[in-house]
Amino acid sequence: MNIYHLTILKFIILFIAGILLGLSKTGFPGPGIFAVVLVAMVIPARYSVGIVLSMLVVGDIFGLIYYHRHAVRQHLLKLIPWTICGIFIGYFFMNKVNNRQLSIFIGVLILFILCLRLLYERKLNNNGFKIKKKWWFSGFFGLLAGITTMMANAAGPITSLYFLSMDLPKIEFMGTGAWFYFLMNWFKVPFNVNLGLINSHSLYLNLLLIPSILIGALLGITIMKKINQKIFNILVQIFAAIAAIKLIF
């Protein structure tokens, strides 16, 4: 894959993807999954994983600068060990499962999780639903997030639903997510280098796309200041559902 093989139209699509990724780091996480799809449209699917990861690392820096004080440490400690295990599993299966199979699996699973969340909210209104306090609840989401983030950079909807299930206010949601993605995405970098998904050509392209991520990050900050908690939660779930349907079909 060489940067000079890209047409102007394809580069514009990548620039839009960069804006969406930046927006997802400082506004709300939904648009990030669409950025993954856009990059995969113009870059061979396998190499798009490395391109997107480098873009995410840059976006994580912007998100961390703005939200680093608002993380809830206990949720990070519960989720990260399981996610690391999932990353190793994803690395093992990277050459054994094709992108189409993984997309369908992730999409169906996200819709299933959304249904579980609706059930959770119903039970919560009827004397509580304690499943989120079980150790395996964090384990399930962590493993799944690790596998999907390693293989497709598509863990956003999964971790978003987990943080929503923890009833995090929007600022703590973004702060906890900022630290989580920053740590996990950097952890994935050596694996992607080893697989040849991050190389000199991909890094040069990523360098050209940094302005788009900055634009998206600034736009996200503006949106975040104007949106209330209820609308924030609804939008996160809507984006997750749309992303799941897109991944399936």
Mean pLDDT (10-residue bins), the chain, 249 residues: 75 94 87 83 83 95 93 94 95 79 74 73 52 78 91 84 86 94 96 92 94 95 84 80 78
Angle at 2 between CA 63 and CA 88, to 5 degrees: 50
CA 222/CA 75 separation, integer angstroms: 26
User: Which region, left, alpha or beta, applies to residue 147 given φ > 0 means left and ψ of -120 to 50 means alpha?
Assistant: alpha
* pLDDT for the residue numbered 128: 43
Residue environment code for 214-227, b if the CB has 16+ CB neighbours within 10 A, otherwise e? bebbbbbbeebeee
Angle at 53 between CA 158 and CA 27, to 5 degrees: 55
Could you tell me if 71 and 166 are in contact, meaning their C-beta atoms sit under 8 angstroms apart? Answer: no
* Chain-centroid distance, C-alpha 208: 22
Return the domain boundaries, the chain.
3-248
* pLDDT for the residue numbered 117: 67
Among the listed residues 76, 44, 15, 45, the one whose alpha carbon sits nearest the alpha carbon of residue 208: 15
